[in-house]
Amino acid sequence: RAKEKGKNNIQLFSEDMAERSRKRLEIERSLRHAIERNEFFLEYQPQIDLGSHTLIGVEALIRWRHGGKTIPPLDFIPIAEETRLIITIGEWVVKEACRQIKVWDRNGLSPFTVSVNISARHFLDPNMVIRLHSIIQDAEVDPRRLCLEITEGAMEDIDNTMTMLQELEELGFRTSIDDFGTGFSSLSHLKRFPLHELKIDRSFVDGIIDDQDDRAITSTIISMAGNLELSVVAEGIETTEQLQELHGMGCQIGQGYYFSKPLTADRFNEWLSNRKSQT
Ligand code: C2E
Ligand code: MG
Ligand code: MG
Ligand code: MG
C-alpha cells in the first residue's frame, strides 16, 4: 500500500509540475505580445528626502495588464529573464520612463530623477549601454534624469561590471545597487565601481525597530555609503518609527508605503498637487 501511495504522490507531483510548466509557457507566449498590445504600464513610487521632506525622485515599477488582471512583476519578470524578452522589456521601460519625463517637464514639474530597474541578465548584455544611450538620445532626455537600479547579481563578473559602469558614468547615467545587503557584493569592489547610490533592502527596514541584527546591518550600510560618498535610499518604509530611526542613523532618502504606494502617472500627478497645496 505504501508503494501504491508513493506512486500516487509522484503522479500528483508531476501533474502539478505539468500544470505549472503549462502556465509558464502560457505567460511566456502572452509576454511576447504584451508590448504590441500595449499591456504594460509603469507605476511611480516617490522617493523623499528625509530631512527636507521634498520629492527627489520616483522609482518606475512595471505592471502588466493581462486577461482582466494586473500581474505583478515577480510573476513575469523571472520568466522574461530566461529569454531575451527581458531585454525588450527593459528597453520598453526606459523608453516609457523617458516619455513620461518629457510630459512632466512640459507641465513644469520640478526635474526629479526616475529610477528604473535593470535586470542582471540585461546588464550583462554587451549592447545594453549603447542601446540605452540611443533610446535617451532619441527621446531627448538628459541621462542624469535616469538612475539605473541593478542588483548585486549583476556584479558577479567584475571586469564586465566595471566596464559597463564606467561607460554609463561617462554618458551621465546615475547607477544604484538595489536590495543592497541581500547579495554578497565584495566591499573592495564597491569602492572601485563608479556608483551613485545604495538602496537598503526592505527586509532590513522591516526589522529595524525590533531586530538587533537588522538595526546593525542598516546602520552599517548607511555609514559605509557615507564613507564611500554614495547616496543611500531606504526602501519599504511603512511607519513613523522606522522613518525616525532611519533619519536618526543618517539615512538621506526614503521610499515606502508610509509616503505612498506606487501610483499610475495620473494618480502620481494628483499626489503631487495635493502635496503642493499643503505646503
Ligand atoms: P524592487 O525594485 O526592490 O522594488 C520595490 C518593491 O517593493 C516594489 O514591488 C514596491 O511596490 C514594493 N514596496 C515599496 N514600498 C513598500 C512598502 O512600504 N512595503 C511593502 N511591503 N512593499 C513596498 P513590485 O512593484 O511588486 O516589484 C517587485 C520587484 O520586481 C522589484 O523590486 C524589482 O526587482 C522587480 N521589478 C519591478 N519593475 C521592474 C522593471 O521594470 N524591470 C525589472 N527588470 N524588474 C522590475
Ligand atoms: Mg528597484
Ligand atoms: Mg529594491
Ligand atoms: Mg526589494
Percentages helix, strand, coil for the chain, rounded to the nearest 5? 55, 20, 25
Q: How remote is the CA of residue 41 from the centroid of ligand 2, in Å?
A: 16
| ipTM at complex level | 0.98
pLDDT band for position 10 (50/70/90)? low
Q: What is the pLDDT of residue 1?
A: 52
C-alpha cell, 130: 549603447
pLDDT cut 70: percent of the chain above it: 95
% of the chain residues with pLDDT over 90: 79
Q: What is the pLDDT of residue 65?
A: 97
Task: For 81-127, write each residue's pLDDT tens digit.
Answer: 999 999 999 999 999 999 999 999 999 987 899 999 999 999 989 89
**Residue appearing with cell numbers 525597530:** 209
Give me the pLDDT at residue 113, please.
97
> Does ligand 1 come within 6 angstroms of the Cβ of 119?
yes
- Whole-number pLDDT of residue 110: 79
Residue 143: CB atoms within 10 A of its CB come to 17
Would the pLDDT of 155 be above 90? no
* CA 69 to the chain's CA centroid: 22
Mean pLDDT of the chain: 93
206 ligand 1 Cβ < 6 A: no
Give the residue, by CA position, lying nearest to ligand 1 atom 10: 262
Q: What is the pTM of this model?
A: 0.94
Contact (Cβ atoms closer than 8 angstroms) between residue 189 and residue 158: yes
Cell 500516487: give the residue: 8
**Residue of 40, 41, 77 best suited for mutating to test ligand 1, as the one with most atoms within 8 Å of CB:** 77
Could you tell me if the CB of 197 is within 6 A of ligand 1? no
Is residue 77 in contact with ligand 1, taking CB distance under 6 Å?
yes
Q: Is the CB of 153 within 6 Å of ligand 1?
A: no
**3-state secondary structure string, 231-271?**
EEEECCCCCHHHHHHHHHCCCCEECCCCCCCCECHHHHHHH
CA distance 279 to 277: 6
Which residues have their alpha-adjacent CB atom under 5 A from ion ligand 2? 117, 149, 178
Range in 85-89, 146-150, 181-185, 246-250 the model is least confident about: 181-185
Cell of 74: 515577480
Task: Characterize the bridge pairing of strands 146-151 and 113-117.
Answer: parallel
Residue 101: count of CB within 10 angstroms of its CB: 24
- pLDDT score recorded for residue 112: 93
Burial (CB count within 10 angstroms: exposed 0-12, middle 13-18, buried 19+), residue 276: exposed
Q: Compute the half-sphere exposure of residue 225: CA atoms within 13 Å on the CB side of its CA.
A: 26
Cell reading at 135: 533610446
pLDDT for 19-76, tens place per residue? 888 888 889 999 999 999 999 999 999 999 999 999 999 999 999 999 999 999 999 9
